[in-house]
Each structure stands twice: as structure tokens, then as C-alpha cells.
Chain A
Amino acid sequence: MKMEKMKKKRVIVIGGGAAGMQTALRLARRGIEPVIVEKEAELGGKLRGWYVLFPTFTPASEVLNELRRRVHECGIETVLSAQVTGIAPRSVELADGRRIDGDAVVVATGFSLFDASVKEEYGYGIYDNVYTSVDIERMLGEGRVAKADGSRPKRIAFLHCVGSRDEKVCQQHCSRVCCITGVKQAMEMKRLFPDADVFNFYMDIRMFGPGYEEMYREAQQQYNVHFVRGRISEASPMLDGRIQIKAEDTLTGRPLRMSVDMLVLLVGMRANDDNAALAAGAGLRQSPSGFLAARDHFLGSVRSEVEGIYYAGTVTAPKNIGETLNEAAAAADAVAEALGA
């Protein structure tokens, strides 16, 4: 009995992104021994691909490096390049046949990005000068945003809701963060190319977070970014390499055609493909969008249907980074309480 109490509880955290790292840190602080299982060769998850974060333009590397530093400092055990294929309340199975045992499991596997080439009508991967919001983050990070031929864009169009709120591609849910990403990237484009015309084509603008609405206003008033309500129906290439887009301005009720130098598709957050297999194996529930379903929306938002399996971050629904970090702490607390640590 005494020996058992002395022995540290061990919790497996699946996923080494923002949610996974934060969960592990919090668990460690509560005297639990976390082990992070990450499928990539390094920690960081999607955060590694972002340049600066809305709404404060904080460099993503600041958050990422700080989280990594703390994980390293706490000496948290990490298993890298390890794909989880099965989850049980006290263990996880890896693709290479290994099994990791623990006292509880936190699923922090996050989301996948919508593959823009599925919306073939927008020409991603077919024409030059069609980009995704992820490409833009990378280009901003590399410090060279330009057209495919290296020249400066004079007109840029952002298209919202690519792979979100779109029944045609089986993605009914709202990915939430793309609206503000569109506003942020439009402002960054205006900073880089002050003479360029920047348009945002949207269905609704959903500014849900603190400071977002102010940022949206600033984009219009200070940066002169144009917002057009209406989705682009199709894009086609022009001889000079520009992209011709067809859309409808639904506020004026007029169809419009426009040629742009860059078309940026704001891709949505999609449930991971392996959620179904993991859920089926562990008896977890999936919501219709494919994300894993928490026990309830209120007091059980970090608990699964199965005792001993917890959730943190975007594995349950699209969230921004702040929400993800908070939820990770809540998940760690719930685990610690359940384990009596």
C-alpha cells in the first residue's frame, strides 16, 4: 500500500502539439509522470507551421519555443516518430507493435488540414498562384511572399470557408479560426504590399475571440481591406498567369468576375482520418463532423465516454491556440483528480 502510494502515476499523452505539451507540463506540476507520444520527429504540431498568431501578431515561435523549453526543463519523457494505432484506458498501441502502459490516457491528437485540391474548381495544385492559408504562413516565415514568377502581387483575393461549412465535401462544421486568419493574413499582405488591393470573399465573418472584432474593423479602416459577401464559384487561369475568379456579391445581388494575382484559400480544420479507427477500438464516440465527442459540453468537456481516457485541444472540435492551452490544463487537472494525485 505504502509502496503504491510512493510510486508516481504515469499518464500517456497522445500528441505533442500545443495541447499535448501543455497537458504534460500541467500533469508534471501535479506530481504525475507524463509521457508524450508524438507521430512526428519533433514536438510542436501544427504550431510549427504558423508565422505570427492572431490577434496580437505574436510570433508563433515564441509560444512554441517556450513550451518546448519547459517540456525539456521538466525532463518529460517523449516518444517521437511513434504512430498510435490503438487506445485503451491504461495503454496505447503503436504502429511498430510497441505498447506503452500508464494509468490514464489523454488524447491530444488535434486536427488535419482540409486538402484544398479536393475543391478542384479553385485550381489548387493545378494553376500557379493559387495558395492556401498554410502556404502563406510558410512563405511569410521564409520571408518571401511573391507570385510564382517572383513578382509582387497587385491584387490578392482570400476565399473563406474552403472545406468548412461545405456539405459538398462533407464538412458541415465551422472551423472558427479561418475568418480571423483571413483578416490577419490580409493585413500582413497590406503591410508587405501597401499598393495591392486585397479582397476577402466570405459567407459570414465570425469574430468570436477577444480582440478579433477590433482587428476586423482595423483591417477595413486602417488597412483598406475589402470584404465581399459571397463565395467564389470557380477559378480559371489566364494567359498572363493571373487567376480569374467568378463570384457573386450577395449584398448587391450581382455576379462578378475579377482577375487576381494571388488567390488564397483559407483551408478549414478537419477531423483526423484515423479518429474513426481509434474511436471504434476504444469505444469512444465521434460527433457527426468526425471529431471525437466529449462526454458533454459543460462539466465533462475534457472527458470521454470511457473512464481513463481524456481529451485536450482540437481533437474534439476546432479551437484557437489560447482555448487549446486552457483546455489542456483543464484536462490535466481532471486526470490528476481522478488518479488522486
Chain B
Amino acid sequence: MSFFAPFCIPFLVGAAAMFAVLAWKWGSWLWCLPRTDKRLILRGLPTRATLEAVGEVVGESLLHRRIFRINPLLGYMHMSLAFGWFLLIAVGWIETMACLGLHWVPIQGHVFFRYFSTGLPHVAAFDFLMDLLLLFVLSGVALAWGKRFFSRRMGMRRTTKHVPGDRVALTALWFIFPARLAAESITCALYGGGGFLTGSIGAWLGAHVPEFGLMNAESVAWWFYSSCLGLFFVAMPFSRYMHIFTEIPLIFLRRYGLRSGEKATSYDEFQVEACSRCGICIDPCQLQSVLRVDDVQSVYFLRDRRYGMLRREVADNCLMCGRCAEKCPVGIDLNTLRLNARDGLRNVPDERRYDYFKGLDRSSGEGKVGYFAGCMTLLTPRTLSAMETIFAAAGEQVWWADREGGVCCGRPLKLAGETDSARRMMRYNTELFRKHGITTLVTSCPICLKVFREDYALDGIEVLHHSEYMLRLLRSGRLALRRGATRFTYHDPCELGRGSGIYDAPRAVIEAVGELLEPEHTRENALCCGSSVANTAITDGQQVRIARSVAGELEATGAEVVVTACPLCKKALGRGTAAAVRDLAEVVAAELK
């Protein structure tokens, strides 16, 4: 039995090109990985991580469970296309084997089996099953068409603006399955067989169209189907659909412990090309919802980075609040990719700028507990004096790292992409902390907290946010508070909540002094105050507009006092409302017994 017809050529050429490009891309990325990453992969291969990765591939690449959580219809659309297509291939394979036994059949024999199998006896069960699967995929295609016009129904206010290459691939993809339906139906019209879908359409065509017309149409339809496949395969590695295959190695590598860092590596390529440009990241972005800035969101940032056309204006225009990363169905580490792109664009360390660090020590006091105010707390001295009151009330001996001024924690510079300069600050502060022999480091600034925990090597020193520290004092009875009837609402700072996973400690502290009312967006979904140090592109006026929108939501709770636990958020929200905005420490210091 021959498995070749001239119409197979577009498909074969397309598939060959796709696999060649894929092999080249993945091969070179893996080859260029840092040695430590390669070692992680080798160590991880024979462990449970591999099995877990397989499970995640099924759950995410095929079933798209995370998208289901965002919107069931959107999830179904993605699942029907991915899982449906996968099943068509897999069941098709089984069908050929069932019909021909364990023979070697070339790939086009599997893909175009209905064309080649006209002489074989039909298996009704397979006819039915394959038609059912085709219908499943077609329902996804129909939804994809519908999404163009009714995106809101599928939980998306805004969808991605696509580049021309994506449109070519998208169009090819949309036509693949209708073309398959047409081709198989016509073949059924001529030779019989087929299930409830192709068989029925074929019978109708056979009854209404002359055989000569059907024979011509059959040839055209299979050519068209093969061409759609070929075109899609050629376009795929260069379009958003690269994500279909790239998400799979990404899941494995992530399970083996690979992470993006402040310097770009080839692991980033897996992340960047695993983006499907689904656009789910657009709606959560406050630059979009408040300021109507619509070309900087993660989807566009990754696209620009991937095609080598990333500009500073796009890379810098991000609050790095992490609201999009929270929603990303592929789980791409969007903030870190943004950060190391900035590093590539502007890391030009000034060797002499920080010479003044040498011998500098303005710290005061002595104690095992160190307090690091950070630049922003020094600019919001109510928080600082509240901390003084609290330390005194708890009888804590405190070493004040920077009350008389000190060196920045380094995170603002790091976020700006000046990672080497940031490292110098980190080294300076690390040495300072070590020199004074502290065992606990308390900071009232979540920006400092995050960098202390993630980038400083502070073994033996416990780093605490002041919310955690105050809660500890309360629980151990070293602080006693008056609980009144004041109604508070709490604004989650991005660096504390999504950034460091601290949601409960500040809430527990507030509940010790009064009633806590939650705003509409809270915890993982909390809004950003808008004045993030990570964004160097928007103006003060734009920051204030974001602050107003956030403050509006906080005021809507009916609370008398807005509490936050970040000096920057406090300043930012204060600009957006006439209501009282307080740091957690101020609230505690005011209610000390």
C-alpha cells in the first residue's frame, strides 16, 4: 500500500522545517545554559521532578487548567484546541495500527489516513471517535473566532494586538480543521465510510454533487488541508505558536529548579518563547486600566524582547507589581525577565561613584536586633518614630543601621537594571550587618525586605518585616495594645504581598487594634499604589492618577483609616486621598497600653 500523494508535499516540507528549527532552537538554548543549570538538569532527570513535570505538561499544555480558573469558556477553548488536536493525532495513530497491524507507516500516512484508507474496511468505532474529536477541536476553533468579537464573554476585556506573522499562523490554524472536515467529507462522499460528521456530510454531498465535481473538489480539499498544515508548521517556530512546544521543556526545566536571574541566560529564551501572547496579562495591568497605556504589558514586552526590538521605553514602563505574573497561565517569571532585560539595556556601572562607601559607618546603638529604616522610611519619619516607640515599649536593645543616614539597600538600582552598582550596595550593607553582630534584622520597608531575603547572603541573621516583628512581640506578650472600634482597611504593598508572600502578619496586627475591612482587590489580587520605584517611565501626574483609583477602592470600604505597611505606598496613597493613611507601625504605636 502506497502512502504518498503529491498533496502531501506542503505538509512534509512544513513539518520537516518546523522540527529542524525546533531542534536548532532548543539545542542551542540548552547548549548555552550556564554550567550550574546543566548540572541541575542532570541531577533532576532521575528524580520525582520528571514525573511531576509530565503531570504538569498534561495539566497545563494539554488541559490548560490555569486558564480554566480564569474563565471556564476560555479554558475550554484552549483545551479543545490543544488536547483535542493531541487526541486526534494519538487516536489516529492507534487507528492506523488497528487497521494495518504493527506496520511502519510514514507520518503522512497517519495524518492523511482517511485519504489513503479508502480501500480498507471501515471500523465504525474509530470513524465515530475521530469525528467526535474533530467536532471537539472545531468547537474550539469556533470559540476562537467568537473571541475576536465577544472577548468579554470569555473573561477578557482586552485581547492582544498581533504582529503580521502571528496573523498568518493564526489564519492557517483556523483553516486547518475546517479544511480537514471538508477533505474527509468529500472522500467519504466518493468512497463511503466516515462517522456521524464526515459520513453524514459525505452522504449529503454524494447525493447532491456530481461525481466529477467531487473528484476535483477532493484533490483541491486535500491540497488545501496539507497547505494549511504546512504553512502553520513553517510559521509556528517564528510566531506565538512556538509556545505549544516550548512550554513543555520549560515545565521540565522549571521542575529541575532552573530560574531566571538578574543577568540574562539562555533559560530566559525558553520562558520568552513559551509566551502564547494570550493577552491574559493585559487586563490586570493598571497602566492599561487607569492610564490607557497599551503597548508595554508583559505580552508586548516579551514579544519585543523575542524579536530583538525591545526599547527602553517599553522595558522601563512597568510597575513590576506582579499582578500579571499572578495570572500568567504559563507561569512565566515576568518580573525577572523584565529586570534582566533592563540590566542588558542600561547596566553601566560607574566605578568611582560609590567610593564614599569606604570606611562609612553612621550606625548607632547596640543590640542583637538591627533596624534598617531604608531611604523611604527616612522620608516618612512618622513610621521611624513609631518604631522607636515600639522598640522602647518592648524593651528591645536596637542597633540602628541607618537612622543617621546610610547606604541604600540596592533594590531600586537593581530594579532599574543597574545590577552591578546594586551589588556594591548589597556588599556594603552585608558587611555592615556582619560587623555589628546582629542576629535579627527588622525593616519597615518591603522593598528592602525583599532584597535582604533574596539577594543578600545573611546566614545566621533572621530578616523580618516590621509587621512580622510586631506580630511576634504581640504574640509573646512583649507588647500590649488597646483594641478600639476604629475601622481600618489594609493596602497590600506589592513587594510585601505578591513579592514576599506576607499577607497575614499585617492583618493580624491590625485586628489586634480594631476592625479590618477588605477592599475589593486584596491579597494576591491587590492593586499597586502606582508609585513603584520599578517604573521610571510614568510621570508624577500619572502616578497620582493610579493612586487615586486605588484610594477610591480603599475608601469604598467605609474604613476611617487606610493602613499600609510600606513607606512608599503610604506616600503614594496619601497623594491620592484626603483620608488618613498610616503605616502599620503608627497604628500600633498609637494604641500601646
Binding between chains A and B: yes
Q: Which residue numbers of A lie inside 8 Å of B, CB to CB?
A: 118, 120-121, 123, 126-127, 167-170, 234, 236, 246, 273
Assuming A167-B541, A168-B540, A170-B544, is B381 touching A121 (CB within 8 A)? yes
B154 at the interface (CB under 8 A from A): no
Q: Does the CB pair B381–A169 fall under 8 Å? A: no
Contacts of B539 in A (CB 8 A): 167
| Bound: A120/B381 CA distance, A | 7
Taking A120-B571, A170-B541 as known contacts, 17 extra A-B pairs with beta carbons closer than 8 A to each other, sorted by chain A number, are A118-B574, A120-B379, A120-B382, A121-B379, A121-B381, A126-B382, A126-B385, A127-B381, A167-B539, A167-B540, A167-B541, A170-B540, A170-B544, A234-B378, A234-B379, A236-B403, A246-B405
Residues 349 to 380 of chain B near chain A (Cβ within 8 Å): 378-380
Residues of B within 8 A of A118 (CB): 574
Tell me, yes or no, whether B309 is within 8 Å of chain A by CB.
no
B381 touches A236 (CB 8 A): yes
Closest 10 CB pairs of A and B: A167-B540, A121-B379, A120-B380, A126-B381, A170-B544, A123-B381, A126-B382, A234-B379, A234-B378, A168-B540
Bound-state CA distance A123–B405 (Å) is 15
Q: Which residues of A contact B571 (CB under 8 A)?
A: 120
Known A167-B541, A170-B541: A273·B381 in contact at CB below 8 Å: no
Most chain-B CB neighbours within 10 Å: which of A120, A170, A234, A236? A120
Q: Is the CB of A121 within 8 A of B544?
A: no
Main secondary structure of the interface of A (DSSP, over half): mixed
A121:B380 contact, CB within 8 angstroms: yes
Determine the distance from Cα of A36 to Cα of B239 in the docked complex, in whole angstroms: 71
10 A-B pairs with CB atoms under 8 Å apart are: A118-B574, A120-B380, A121-B380, A123-B381, A126-B385, A127-B381, A167-B539, A167-B541, A236-B381, A273-B578
Say if the beta carbon of B122 comes within 8 Å of chain A. Answer: no
A126–B589 CA distance with the chains assembled, in angstroms: 14
Cα(A123)–Cα(B382), bound, Å: 8
**Which residues on B are within 8 Å of A, measured CB to CB?**
378-382, 385, 403-405, 539-541, 544, 571, 574-575, 578
Closest to A257 in B: B405
> Which residues of B lie under 8 Å from residue A234 when comparing CB positions?
378-379, 381
> Chain A residues near B385 (CB, 8 Å)?
126
Chain A residues within an 8 Å CB radius of B403:
236
**What residue of chain A has the Cβ atom nearest to residue B356's Cβ?**
A255
Q: Which residues of B contact A168 (CB under 8 A)?
A: 540, 575
Bound-state CA distance A118–B575 (Å) is: 9
Once the chains bind, are A236 and B541 in contact (CB under 8 Å)? Answer: no
List B contacts of A127 (CB < 8 A): 381
Measured in the bound complex, the distance between the Cα atoms of B586 and A126 in whole Å is 12
A169 touches B382 (CB 8 A): no
Q: Which residue of the partner chain A has the closest CB to B385? A: A126
CB closest residue in chain B, given A168: B540
Report the Cα distance A121→B404, complex, angstroms. 13
B381 contacts across to A, CB distance below 8 A: 120-121, 123, 126-127, 234, 236
B541 adjacent to A169 (CB under 8 Å) = no
Return the contact of A169 from the options B404, B405, B575, B578 (Cβ within 8 A).
B575
Residues of B within 8 A of A273 (CB): 578
State in angstroms the CA–CA spacing of A127 and B379 once bound together: 14
Report whether A121 and B382 are in contact in the complex, using a CB–CB cutoff of 8 Å: no
Query: A170–B575 contact, CB under 8 A?
Result: yes
Q: Considering the chains assembled together, what is the distance between the CA atoms of A209 and B249 in angstroms?
A: 73
B409 → A minimal CB distance (Å): 17
User: Could you tell me the distance between the alpha carbons of A236 and B402 in the complex, rounded to whole angstroms?
Assistant: 12
A246 to B541, CA, bound (A): 27
Cα A273 to Cα B574 in complex, Å, equals 15
Which B residues lie within 8 Å of A170 (CB)?
Answer: 540-541, 544, 575
Most B Cβ at <10 Å: residue of A123, A168, A273: A168
